[in-house]
Amino acid sequence: MVKSSIVNAVLDEALRTGGDFSELYLQDTESNTMTMIDGKVENANYKRQVGAGVRVLKGTRSAYAYSADTSEAALLACARAAASALKGEKEFEAKSICIDRIGKSFAKIPFSEIDNAKRIELMRKATNAAKAHSGEVTQVVANYSDFDHRTWVYNSEGVHAEDRRPRVRTAVQAVAMANGEAQTGTCSPGYGMGFEAYNEKIDIEEVGREAAKTAVTMLHAPECPAGTVPVVIDGGFGGVILHEACVHGLEATSVGRGNSVFCGKLGQQIASPIVNAVDDGTLPGEWGTMHFDDEGNPSQCNRLIENGILKTYLVDILGSRLMNHPITGSGRRQDYTFAPTSRMTNTFFAPGNDDEEEMLRTMGEGLFAAKMGGGSVNPLTGEFNFAVSEGYWVRDGRILCPVRGATLIGKGAEVLMKIDRIGRKMWMAPGMCGSLSGSIPTNVGQPRIRVSEIVVGGKGGAL
């Protein structure tokens, strides 16, 4: 994207006040987004974002400057701005590029070949399928987005890494109403692929039906009872509990500053012996996948927990210096306006050996959380509170009825130890994760799991 002579000049300029490492990050991203409400297109946007950032490190100190201008003068100005945060004499020279890492695009059908009529057709199919599911569906909102995200990373250690990350997603929200009451259901698949995802992975009409089914089911559900009971959590977005209540606490942004319940726990048992957890940025075509992270390091499959034992943290370059821990290919950022930090990619509980139906048959009375919603967590304590967007009450090992308004309340470290069943089939669901380096695409996932007991919040009485 820029001449090697300019790259070397920028990296060298950033080191002039005593830095021991410098980095140039460049980005060029094209995106298309659309919203349809009840079959009518409300907006359609095309956006192109181009920019660059320069970072300089000295030990565990870091400074970052960025610009939407990628000219030589602007890049050198960024280098000087970052360097100005340090006070010292130049000690290191930037190496010439000697390590090339090139990631190939996953897209079989580039978004540039797709006109808006095809995007609109997808949303209309999803809308019609949701409306056809039930006369109680009164509104359907469909959102389409695609991204062609290109990055270039150069650093003073001679690394040059390029990556291209196509991503596509459709999110459908259905609203069902009866007797003046409303409930919503959502379905929002997404993949790290081109437009071919709609031929290979996404049944767009099923997306609409699934959103409508959840809305209608919850419309006729009584309020969930409260209590401490066994809970079975289904796969896919159920993995949000692992993501939020556990793995955020394994990121160097928390661990490196002593702000995690998992500090100092490497090699120790932090989960039930049947638990294996993974963060894998190498999975082809997945929402959180990348060839190289935003620091130019190869993406990795990181086994976080193995048979209940904590094996690694997620660590970026700065985190490695803070923690004396190997880099794990986890440096990520939303765009050039953010410096990178340690982040997740595709994070999931690995499949186990348990029968999914047996989990329900032998749980007695409790909650089956078929779909999880949003929530909050404190990384320092691991305390969390998550909504259940589609739940069912189980009695005597059988589903009694759907219930709404359920929340799961607890501590991540305690829940990990109480997992007593893990199913055989794992699947993932896409989301956007916010942290110090902005909002990034991450997958969460798991097979169906059972927690022997967890606090369930709800407004309902006995069923």
Burial of residue 47 (CB within 10 Å: 0-12, 13-18, 19+) is exposed
Q: Token pair of 242, please?
A: 């692992």
Query: Rounded mean pLDDT of the chain?
Result: 96
Q: Token pair of 363, please?
A: 């749980």
% the chain with pLDDT above 70: 100
Distance CA 288, CA 292 (A): 12
Q: Per-residue pLDDT for 379 more than 80?
A: no
Place of tokens 């009825």: 401
- Give mean pLDDT, residues 301-305: 98
Residue 329 confidence (pLDDT): 98
- Give mean pLDDT, residues 424-442: 96
Q: What is the pLDDT of residues 400-417, one digit of tens each?
A: 999 999 999 999 999 999
- HSE on the CB side for 131, CA within 13 Å? 14
Q: What is the pLDDT of residues 96-143, one digit of tens each?
A: 988 899 987 779 999 999 999 999 999 999 999 999 999 999 999 999
Local confidence band at 376 (pLDDT 50, 70, 90 cut-offs): confident
Reduce the DSSP state of residue 169 to 3 states and report it: strand
Place of tokens 């291209």: 164
% the chain with pLDDT above 90: 93
C-alpha angle with apex 301: 295 to 305, nearest 5 degrees?
115
Taken in order of first residue, the domains within the chain and their CATH numbers are 4-219 (3.30.2290.10), 227-457 (no CATH)
Residue 382 confidence (pLDDT): 82
Q: Per-residue pLDDT for 163 more than 90?
A: yes
- Give mean pLDDT, residues 182-205: 97
- Cα 205 to Cα 45, 116, 170, 202, distances in angstroms: 23, 18, 11, 9
Q: Classify strands 99-102 and 159-178 as parallel, antiparallel or unpaired.
A: parallel
C-alpha angle with apex 128: 125 to 131, nearest 5 degrees?
150
Q: What is the pLDDT of residues 58-84, one digit of tens each?
A: 999 999 999 999 999 999 999 999 999
Q: Which residues are CB-contacts of 407 (< 8 A; sequence separation ≥ 6)?
A: 375, 385, 386, 387, 388, 456, 457, 458
Q: Cα–chain-centroid distance for residue 231? A: 24
Transcribe 49-70 into DSSP letters: EEEEEEEEEETTEEEEEEES--
For residue 154, the surrounding DSSP H or E stretch is: strand 137-155
CB-based burial, 328-360: b 16+ in 10 Å, e otherwise: bbbbbbbbbbbbbbbbbbbbbbbbbebebeebb
Three-state SS annotation for 358-412: HHHHCCCCEEEEEEEEEEEECCCCCEEEEEEEEEEEEECCEEEEEEECCEEEEEH
